[in-house]
Amino acid sequence: MLIAAIVLSLLVAFFTMAWWMPRAWYRAFFYPGRRPNALSSRLDALSAWAGSLGVASRMVTIETRGRRSGKPSRVPLVVAEVAGDRYLVSMLGESPDWVRNVKSAGGEAVLIHGITERYGWKRLPSQSARRS
């Protein structure tokens, strides 16, 4: 019984790391050199599969064509909803592969979350552009 409690505690701690661990440590652990390691690649694939099933309402999978390979790749994302509009927000800035793949594909991407939706890329103006 004690071993089961310890294992359960470790699993909970592991899967909630993103919430309690400082961001710099989390990135260093899962994305050394800003690239996913083997563990984070497997977890991303599992999350992409769960997001494509539509398990959680805000979790989606974006499918893009690789800009170099041409092969489809899937990445799990969370949708932010603001004033009734939905936005995909990159947590790693403007340089993750999925963002560059969407840009190179002319803005075309597919969102999968129980159903499949085709979208076009729309870049929001920056804060400084809105002020002027």
Q: In which domain, by residue range, is 114 found?
A: 38-123
Average pLDDT, the chain: 78
- Flag whether 129 is in a domain: no
| pLDDT tens column, 65-79 | 888 888 888 888 888
Is residue 15 domain-shared with residue 71, that is, in the same domain?
A: no
Contact (Cβ atoms closer than 8 angstroms) between residue 73 and residue 63: yes
| pLDDT tens column, 43-60 | 877 877 777 777 666 788
pTM of the model: 0.58
- Flag whether 86 is in a domain: yes
Contact (Cβ atoms closer than 8 angstroms) between residue 52 and residue 112: yes
pLDDT above 60 for 126: no
Q: Across residues 84-98, what is the average pLDDT?
A: 75
Rounded percentage of the chain residues whose pLDDT exceeds 90: 0
Q: CA 8, 54, 37: angle at the middle one, nearest 5?
A: 55
